[in-house]
Amino acid sequence: MEMGSIRPDKPVVQVSRAGSVPSGRPGVPLELAVLLVRVLEFAAALASGFLAASFAGVLEGEQLALYGRAVLLGALCFATLAETMGCYDLDAQFSLRTLWRRLAASWALTALFLITLGFLLKVSGEVSRGWALVWFGGGGGTLLLGRAVSTVWVRRLKNRGTFNQRVAIFGASVQGERFAQYVLGNPRLTISLVGFFDDRARDRVMSAPAGLPLLGNLTQLITMIREGKIDQVVVALPWSADARLQQVVSRLALTPVRIRLAPDMASFAFAKRPMVLLGDLPVMTVFERPISGMDAVLKRAEDLMLTMLIMLVAAPVMALTALAVKLDSPGPVLFRQPREGFNNKPFEVLKFRSMYVDHGQRENIEQASRHDPRVTRVGRFIRRTSIDELPQLLNVLKGDMSLVGPRPHAPSTRAGDRLFSEVVASYAARHKVKPGITGWAQVCGWRGETDTEAKLVKRLEHDLHYIENWSLGFDIYILVRTLGAVVLNRDVF
């Protein structure tokens, strides 16, 4: 919920707890301070350009017009890029690290734009390179130093409560107290809580919810609003009490303050979930389907292209491995075993056979361990080097698997004496995406035998991190690290 002009996805400043009714003028809008920063930085970009030109001695005659246009264009370009890259978003006003990163990127892109434009217009030869270096170097330093000063200034004003709005809560109930506790415990909101108001009898309301005073009923709340002591009202009534809710809101709507509805009790459990509009109706997205839409198309294209490339390179190794498996012990070259894939759908995973044919398990599977007598001589080598996994490239081409994703496990596999699904209730969340030949858990060292529940939990944590943070770049990074993990890690049997 937005508070004190803070956008819901970018809460940034602290709450000032009010034990009594705040007095004085209403809070100054934080956007006013940000507007001043915008103006000062635009002026700094202009001034640094003209100072650099003066230092280089190029402000003479016709050159003055040329350099003047270049400086003005650069300042305008910087202002546009800084706005686009979030340099003036409220979350950047109190985090110098975030701000400097965005500011430096905006200034660097401005320089790149001007250099490219000068080359295309064939005027770069008419401009002093010394001036350009002094402007981009000095201007960038001035912007970074200036923002450090402005950040300290804004933080100081924030700590004084300059930007805080005075907020009253109507509804001295568990819902109102929960909302107040959330606000008081969140150091990123620019509001001061005035206290609670409620129309019900005293024996039906909480005496001091969240340690805040109970100041009266709806009529007294409206009186305080008329006296200019309140800037915003949050109505904390159950959403099911439709008639009472509309009655309260209709009376408050006649006053010149912002009115908001506190989340219903169930909403607190999903407070960090995004709100979207379904037509004109706001709905909460509790869970999003991961890697869907265009992302799914890109990941499938990645799988197909890279898999075919890997198979071309790995073909000799796969042929030699098939021959070695066949000569080492009787039985088929490939081993098929049931696994659970995307959306818990079963499929058969393919591997080079690494165990004696009469020891292969399809049900009540027992994971291989160090010095496992079921593993053949060739099997021990191909398991240690992960060559036995190469036939899963065919699973990728078929669409049952991806190159990167959570490793597929057999439904009957156990950690200790319990099934994986019994150890962690959210284990099935791994099946939101296709399983992979390699994954984030594997390259981070959580591979091989899962003989304890703690190992399973760590593996699951890494798998869920991958699902929530997937990107093509993340996939490539995991694939690059996979080779090192396979070569250096010896905890695979």
Domain ranges of the chain: 30-159, 165-284, 294-488
Helical H segments across 262-353, by residue range: 294-328
- Architecture (CATH level 2) of domain 165-284: 3-Layer(aba) Sandwich (3.40)
- For 112, half-sphere exposure in the C-beta direction (CA atoms, 13 angstrom radius) is 7
pTM of the model: 0.52
Asked if 196 and 176 touch (Cβ cutoff 8 Å), the reply is yes
Q: What is the pLDDT of residue 474?
A: 92
Q: What is the pLDDT of residue 363?
A: 54
Asked if 183 and 6 touch (Cβ cutoff 8 Å), the reply is no
- DSSP assignment of 61-85 equals THHHHHHHHHHHHHHHHHHHHHHHT
Distance CA 86, CA 90 (A): 9
96: three-class secondary structure by DSSP = helix
Question: What is the DSSP secondary structure assignment for residue 16, as one 8-state letter?
Answer: B
The helix (H) or strand (E) run that includes residue 234 is: strand 232-235
Lookup: tokens for 266: 């169930």
Asked if 136 and 114 touch (Cβ cutoff 8 Å), the reply is no
Cβ-Cβ contacts under 8 Å for 282 (sequence gap 6 or more): 275, 276
**DSSP E strand stretches across 315-392:** 334-340, 346-352
Asked if 467 and 433 touch (Cβ cutoff 8 Å), the reply is yes
Q: What is the pLDDT of residue 425?
A: 57
Closest of 389, 383, 337, 331 to residue 363, by C-alpha: 337
Cβ-Cβ contacts under 8 Å for 467 (sequence gap 6 or more): 290, 291, 406, 429, 430, 432, 433
N- to C-terminal Cα separation, the chain = 52
pLDDT in tens, 423-454: 555 566 777 889 999 999 888 877 666 657 67
Q: What is the pLDDT of residue 7?
A: 36
Distance CA 464, CA 23 (A): 49
Q: What is the pLDDT of residue 421?
A: 53
Asked if 197 and 217 touch (Cβ cutoff 8 Å), the reply is yes
How many Cβ atoms sit within 10 Å of the Cβ of residue 414?
A: 20
Asked if 484 and 447 touch (Cβ cutoff 8 Å), the reply is no
In the numeric block, the tokens 């005073």 are attached to 213
Q: What is the pLDDT of residue 99?
A: 82
How many Cβ atoms sit within 10 Å of the Cβ of residue 336?
A: 15
Distance CA 441, CA 426 (A): 16
pLDDT in tens, 94-137: 777 888 888 889 999 998 888 888 778 777 677 778 888 888 88
Residues of the chain with pLDDT below 70 are 1-27, 56-62, 91, 124, 161, 187-188, 265-274, 277-282, 284-287, 358-371, 410-428, 447-451, 453, 485-493
